[in-house]
Structure 1
Amino acid sequence: MTMNLFNQFLSPTFLGLPLIAIALMAPCLLYPSPAPWWQSNRWTTLQNWFIGSFIKQTLSPINTKGHSWALLLATLMVFLITLNTLGLLPYTFTPTTQLSLNMAFAVPLWLATVIMGFRNSPTHALGHLLPEGTPTPLVPILIIIESISLLIRPLALGVRLTANLTAGHLLIQLVSSAAFSLLLSQTTAASLAVGLLLLLTILEIAVAMIQAYVFVLLLSLYLQENV
C-alpha cells in the first residue's frame, strides 16, 4: 500500500525514456503564439492581459535595473502554473513534485540575483550580512546567521513548492482510495468521501496556482534586494 501510494511521485519512463521531458514540454504546446494579424482571439487577449497584469504587479516595487527580468519572471510564472495544474489530471505526472527539478529552478535564479547584487553594489550586498547598529561582540555571530539565511533561500524555495504539492497529491490519493474502498460496502460514506475529494481538488488547484505565484514573488523579493 505504501509503495503504491508513493509511486505517483516517481518519474515515469516509457521504453527507457523519461516522460518528465514530455511533461516539461507541455506548456510550450498549450499556449498560443502571438497572432500575425492585428486582431487577436479571446484566448490570446486573455493571456496577454494576465501576463501584463502580473508583470505590472510584480515589478512595481523593483528598480528599473530589475525590469529586464520581466520576461523571465512572467515565463516562469506561467510555466509553473501549467505544470502544477496539469499534474492534477488523471494519469498524469507532476514534475514539480520532484525536489531536484525545483532546486534546478531555484538555485540558478537565486544565484543570479546574488551575483547581480555583488556586481552592481558590493557594499550594499555585503551590508545585508550585518544589520546596522549591531554590538561588536555579536558581529561574528550575526554574520554567520545572516550568511546561513542567505544560503538557505534556494532550499526554502524548492522545498516549499515540493512539500505543498506533494502533501496535496497524497491527501487526494488517500481520499480517493477510501472512496473506492467504501463504494460497495458503505454508499453514504463513499458519497461523503467523493464530496470531500471534489473540495480537495478545488483546493489543490488553488494551491497549485498560489505556490507558483509565491515562488516567483519570493524570487522577485530577492531581486529587489540586489538591484
Structure 2
Amino acid sequence: MQPTHEESHGGALGARLNWLRAAVLGANDGIVSTAGLVVGVAGATDSRSALLTAGLAGLLAGSMSMAAGEYVSVSTQRDSEMAALAQEKLELREQPEAELRELTDMLHARGLSREVAREAAEQLTARDALRAHARVELGIDPDELTNPWHAAWASFLAFTVGALLPLLAIVLPPPAVRLWITVASVLAALVLTGWSSARLGAARPGRAVLRNVAGGALAMAVTYAAGALLGAVGA
C-alpha cells in the first residue's frame, strides 16, 4: 500500500495540529477571561461605556500578555534547539566515528538489525550527518525550527478573536437582556472550544466540554457576584 498524505508527512501534520490546538486554547482563554471581566463589571453597573472600556482593556491586556509570553517561551525553545544543533555539529566534526556508532545504536534500538542499522547510519551520514542526528537523536527538524514571532502573532490573534465574543455580546444588546445574551453566547462558545480541543487531542469530548463550560460558568458567576457586591457597597 502507498502511504497516505498524512502518513508520509506525519511530522508536518503533527505541527499543524499543535498550532491549531494552541489557537483553540488561546481563543478559549480570551472568551473566559474577557467574559469574566465584563460580567463582573455588569454586576456593578449597566453603563455601556464602562462595559466597553473594561472589555477593550481586558482584550488588549490579555492579547498582549499572551503574545509576549508565547514569544518568550518559544524564543527559549528555539535557543535550546539552536544550542543542541551547534553542539551536535561540533561533535560530528571532532569525533565522527563515535557519532556514527551512536547513530547506529539508536537505529538498532528502534528495531533494525545491527547490519542494517549500520548501513542506514552510513547512508544518512553521507547524505546529511547533522540532519540525521538532529532528527533521530534530538527529535529536531532543522528545516522547521520554532518561530517565536509566528507563535506570538498566533496567540495574539487567537485571544483577540475569543475575547471579541463576550465584548460584543455585552455592549450591543439592550441593557435588559445583555447579561443573559452574554452568558448564553459564552457558554455556547465554550461548548465549541471544548469539543474542538478534545477532538484535536483525540479524546472524548463529553468531559472536556463539561469542564470547559463549568469553568466558564463558575468564572462568570464569581465575577458577577463580586461586581454586584462592590457596586452595592459603592452605592
Confirm or deny a common fold (TM above 0.5).
Answer: no
When you count helix as a share of all residues, which structure comes out higher? 2
TM-score where L is the length of structure 1: 0.30
TM-score where L is the length of structure 2: 0.29
Pair member with larger Rg: 2
Which gives a bigger RCO, structure 1 or 2 (Cα 8 Å, sep 6+)?
2
